[in-house]
Amino acid sequence: MSQSVPKIDELLSSTRRSALHLEMRDGYMQDDPALRAWRAGHRLDPDDRASWWRPWLGVIAATVARGVEIRRARIVSEPVSEYIRYEYDVTFPNVRAGEQVRWLPRRNGSTIALPGNDFWLFDDRIVRWGHFSGDGDALGGEITEDEAAVKLCSDAFEAVWERAVPHEKYTV
């Protein structure tokens, strides 16, 4: 993996039409301070925007304001893991920033051909793979414009999206 892999916000800055993000793990970064706070009982207050708005959400909002559609799909095991309950609870800021988010119970995706890693797909031409350890720690990323990889990711995402439940209708 190259150290020169662009960050997601850098790729979003040059995106013109669409950014798709597929997440397929039941847990990420278990030592995240926000996750630890959630485990201790802290919950985001939807009415106190200043307490949960962060720079990443500004990037999303600015990208959506330029007319870029941002969709995120999450494939999850059910019953959901503790991490997915946390992720569900902290998704409303993403939605308010302009992301469309859907959840696919893993059992409903058995017949979908999926890539081996989480990914972002920008403008149907650039895939940014996300690499994680078995415990969900981020190990970096990798970029490709390989047409077969782009097609696999596009087809997989659209199949997941079609079967997935919109965030506002999904319950954990």
The closest of 121, 129, 130, 126 to 158, measured between CA atoms, is: 121
- Better pLDDT: 4 or 77: 77
CA distance 54 to 40: 21
The closest of 166, 160, 171, 128 to 2, measured between CA atoms, is: 128
CA distance 108 to 80: 14
Q: Is the peptide bond before 166 cis (omega within 30 degrees of 0)?
A: no
CA distance 7 to 9: 6
The closest of 97, 105, 27, 44 to 73, measured between CA atoms, is: 105
Residue-wise pLDDT for 109-160, tens only, equals 999 999 999 999 999 999 999 999 999 999 999 999 999 999 999 999 999 9
Residue-wise pLDDT for 62-101, tens only, equals 999 999 999 999 999 999 999 999 999 999 999 999 999 9
In 3-state terms, what secondary structure has residue 46? coil
CATH code, residues 8-42+51-169? 3.30.870.10
By the 10 Å C-beta count (0-12 exposed, 13-18 middle, 19+ buried), 123 is classed as middle
Q: Is the pLDDT of residue 2 over 90?
A: no
CA distance 147 to 126: 9
Q: Which secondary structure element, helix H or strand E, spans residue 55, and what is its range?
A: helix 55-65
Which tokens go with 64? Answer: 């959506």
Residue-wise pLDDT for 21-64, tens only, equals 999 999 999 999 999 999 999 999 999 999 999 999 999 999 99
CA dihedral 154, 157, 161, 167 (to 10 degrees): -130
Provide the residue ranges of all domains of the chain, joining segments of one domain with +: 8-42+51-169
- Per-residue pLDDT band for 4 (boundaries 50, 70, 90) equals confident
pLDDT at 3: 56
